[in-house]
Structure 1
Amino acid sequence: MTVGAAPTSVFDADLPTLEYAAEETPAAVYPRLQAAQRQAPVAMGPFGPEVLSYRLVRSVLRDPRFQIPPGLNMLSQGISSGPLWDKVVNSLLCMEGDTHQRVRGLASKAFTPRATLRLHDTMVAVMNELVDQIAAAGRCDVVTDLARPYPVPIICALLGAPREDWQRFSAWADDVFKAFSFTVDLRDVEPVVMHAWGELDDYVDDMIARRRHSLTDDLLSDLIRAEDDGDRLSASELRMMAGGLLLAGTDTTRNQVAASVHVLCEHPEQWGLLKEQPELAMRAVEETMRHSPIACGTLRLLAEDAELDGYLFPAGTTVLVNTAAANRDPSVYDDPDRVDITRDGAPPILTFGGGVHYCLGANLARREIAEALNVIASRLLNPRTAGPVPWKPMVSLSGPTSLPIEFDT
């Protein structure tokens, strides 16, 4: 771009073309992302403009003109009304403006360092119990044996639900999460999603009713206590936050634990470092999420014309903010394809978003993954992959579908 020149619409600019199929995995697409990134900070992808550079991705995530599309992926399937639409657009993820600011401000009072700290023992105990079941075998599938069952008992503990109900929560999460998939026909799954969501809402309503009479030391009680100048979360907002926490904290954690273990298995020297220095666990989370995130991007819709770095993004344009590309931008990360859990001085990864929509549970997620990695590193000797490790597509929530490993006993 020429300094001082009038901004050029992204649709008229000579942008690199970025092509990939809906079923392709992040590893398969990365070389094309990096080739396009070397040419320009924006590319024209299969779904429209894609922002690729770290600097521009960070700017877009912080710019209120780039808003979460109503209903997320639902508009792309022609859905703009109905019960499922109402549930999704009224979630914290889709809220904008004053409503979002109010609900997030109240809810943030419950997401304190103390809330994360009180779950430390639960996280360690849950992963240790899972490892106990496979430790003598010398092999396991990390996805099915460790990662998949790990987060739901922790979410139950966070909300104050009995641990014996974790399988019910797990089933609800599986069904409701289908509403956020880019790879299924939402009309086909809507009855299943709404049935599961209704059961979850009823369960949470009962929990809220009991908590109002006897507050305890859990997140739901903290959400009920949260108040600002006399304003509190309503019953429907409490229900939405509890359900949103289950959804946001289940599949993401499952997939990222498996993805991070996969990365470390492919770099045994990094496993060795983590085993010897467990204090590196949070850095290991950051580095494996930078290198191999399971959430590769997010959509934004232009509420008005916006000019950034000489590019004009017209109002009404849907933009894919490619955080995976930004996390490997060579202009900000030295040797970005290298995995190094001692990497120092690097800018923060953008996987958790930015601006007003920065992930409310980011610190909790980091801690949860870190504790899982520490337990696995300390207990499984010399873990290595023992077969193919297929991943889900980049355009959905990615991560390994299977991760067979062997280890010394």
Structure 2
Amino acid sequence: MSYLDVLAPSFSFTSPEAFAAQDDNWYADTPIGPVTVRYAEASELLRDKRFDHGGADFLRANGVTSGPIYDWWVPMIVNHDGADHRRLRGLVARAFTPRMVESLRPFIHARAVQLADEIEDRGSVEFVDAFANRLPLAVMCELLGVPAEDYDEFSQWSADIGLVFGLANGGDTAARVERAVAGLDAYVAGLMDRKAARPGGGDVISVLLAAMAEDGTASRDEVRNLLVTLVFGAHDNTRHQFSNSIVTFAEHPDQWMRLRADPSLAGSAVEECMRWRPSAGALIRRASADLTFHGLDVPEGMIFTTAVATAQRDPRAYPGGRVFDIAARYDAPLLQFGAGPHYCLGSALARTELTEALPLLAARFGPPELPAEPLPWRPALGTFGPESLPVSFARV
């Protein structure tokens, strides 16, 4: 059986060794347990009701048994199933509607134009700070009604909370996540108090509070947890997806020029960027009982990692999928938003942001160019992308 050292600082789920493991079998052994590397088995595992999102077992496996991370993670919506999950998901769906996402499109476009203007004035920028972080942060703050003066503090918490899936990396990861959770929890609680004092707004918090008051669908603690989780999913993942997309286009400048020449490719270009280098490079699941999965005996409590980034280049699911092609069309759905009842509610918003912004940047600038020195990547486990991204855009 192939062995992948997923905790090594330089490990990548799109490395030659990861694809060699994929060619060898459907899973590989790692220091943290089995990792699914083929698409079919990964997709099946994400839908298999015998696996859940880990709950307290995932945290205990990483040395977390109490504190802010535990208090946020264990009651999180993804750790509920059945009637409880449907109740909480239905509550979020009241505020996170397709109409709401579409109503944000003019705001997204205007903010993307503003940020592109600033890039044009400078030419060379640190892209994470100049665009990748600022656009989804502005959108998330618009959704929640966060005032502009709080953006910077809010941004740091939102960035660090995404490290939760990488607790196994050690170092200061747990401390950063704990500070982020505690900060966001207190801040969101304060926002809820302010919105409750002035009911009737159209932001997500106001809508959720109104629903809570109307029929008692959820408690205040559940709404606060939902909001912190919404920040976790909708800002950090999208900012890394923007950066990952720019890195990918820097590696494939011909595809950037193709998008520039044909903006109608925007939708397929976004799907291909997410397939090629997803910000959710790995997802975790836990066996809820002793079971057998494709011939592998799995004891209750075993944590499985789904190598999304590897599986989304599996040629068995994506013929020719080890080549980046923005015009490609595949039948296999992406895995990075999960699957089944827990499919990410924020996927439409992420797609809208990327579809508005990437063709706009391609129309304004030549292909991005990266520095000669290696980029500082986040660890492969957890929300994945470069910590910083110095980039130059040629004027054309």
Structure 2-normalised TM-score? 0.90
**What is the CA–CA distance in structure 1 between the aligned matches of 2:4 and 2:288, rounded to whole Å?**
25
Q: Which residue of 1 aligns with 2:381?
A: 395
**What is the CA–CA distance in structure 2 between the aligned matches of 1:72 and 1:316, rounded to whole Å?**
7
- Residue 62 of structure 1: CA displacement? 0.5
Q: Which residue of 1 aligns with 2:336?
A: 351
Are 2:44 and 1:59 aligned?
yes
Cα gap change, 1:318 to 1:20, in 2 (>3 Å): closer
Pick from 15, 18, 23 the counterpart of residue 4 of structure 2.
18
Pick from 190, 200, 208 the counterpart of residue 203 of structure 1.
190
Equivalent residue letter for 1:262: V
**What is the CA–CA distance in structure 1 between the aligned matches of 2:242 and 2:273, rounded to whole Å?**
10
Cα gap change, 1:176 to 1:37, in 2 (>3 Å): closer
Q: How does 1:164-179 map to 2 (within 5 A)?
A: 164-174=149-159, 176-177=161-162, 179=164
CA contact (8 A) 2:318 2:330 kept: no
Question: Secondary structure in 2 aligned to 1:300?
Answer: strand
Q: Which residue of 1 aligns with 2:117?
A: 132
CA contact (8 A) 2:68 2:178 kept: no
Residues 143-190 of structure 1 show CA distances to partners (whole Å, capped at 9, x for unaligned) of 222112221111111123333432232133245445554234566447
Cα gap change, 1:94 to 1:247, in 2 (>3 Å): same
Cα gap change, 1:313 to 1:181, in 2 (>3 Å): closer
Q: How does 1:10-409 map to 2 (within 5 A)?
A: 15-26=1-12, 30-71=15-56, 73-174=58-159, 176-177=161-162, 179-182=164-167, 183=169, 184-185=171-172, 188-189=175-176, 192-193=179-180, 195-210=182-197, 213=199, 215-226=200-211, 230-390=215-375, 391-409=377-395
Q: Unpaired segments of 5 or more residues in structure 2?
A: none
**What is the CA–CA distance in structure 2 between the aligned matches of 1:402 and 1:268, rounded to whole Å?**
20
Of structures 1 and 2, the larger Rg is shown by 1
**What is the CA–CA distance in structure 2 between the aligned matches of 1:51 and 1:288, rounded to whole Å?**
21
Cα gap change, 1:114 to 1:389, in 2 (>3 Å): farther
State the number of aligned residues: 392
Cα gap change, 1:131 to 1:25, in 2 (>3 Å): farther
**What is the CA–CA distance in structure 1 between the aligned matches of 2:262 and 2:207, rounded to whole Å?**
34
**What is the CA–CA distance in structure 2 between the aligned matches of 1:274 and 1:169, rounded to whole Å?**
33
**What is the CA–CA distance in structure 2 between the aligned matches of 1:406 and 1:178, rounded to whole Å?**
28
- Residue 20 of structure 1: CA displacement? 4.1
**What is the CA–CA distance in structure 2 between the aligned matches of 1:87 and 1:285, rounded to whole Å?**
31
- Residue 138 of structure 1: CA displacement? 2.3
Identity level (%): 33
CA contact (8 A) 2:243 2:386 kept: yes
**What is the CA–CA distance in structure 2 between the aligned matches of 1:201 and 1:180, rounded to whole Å?**
22
Q: Unpaired segments of 5 or more residues in structure 1?
A: 1-14
Between Structure 1 and Structure 2, the one with more helix by share is: 2
**What is the CA–CA distance in structure 1 between the aligned matches of 2:384 and 2:298, rounded to whole Å?**
28
Residues 226-275 of structure 1 show CA distances to partners (whole Å, capped at 9, x for unaligned) of 48x94523322222222221221222111110110111121112111212
Question: Secondary structure in 1 aligned to 2:35?
Answer: strand
Structure 1-normalised TM-score? 0.87
**What is the CA–CA distance in structure 1 between the aligned matches of 2:141 and 2:37, rounded to whole Å?**
37
Cα gap change, 1:178 to 1:196, in 2 (>3 Å): farther
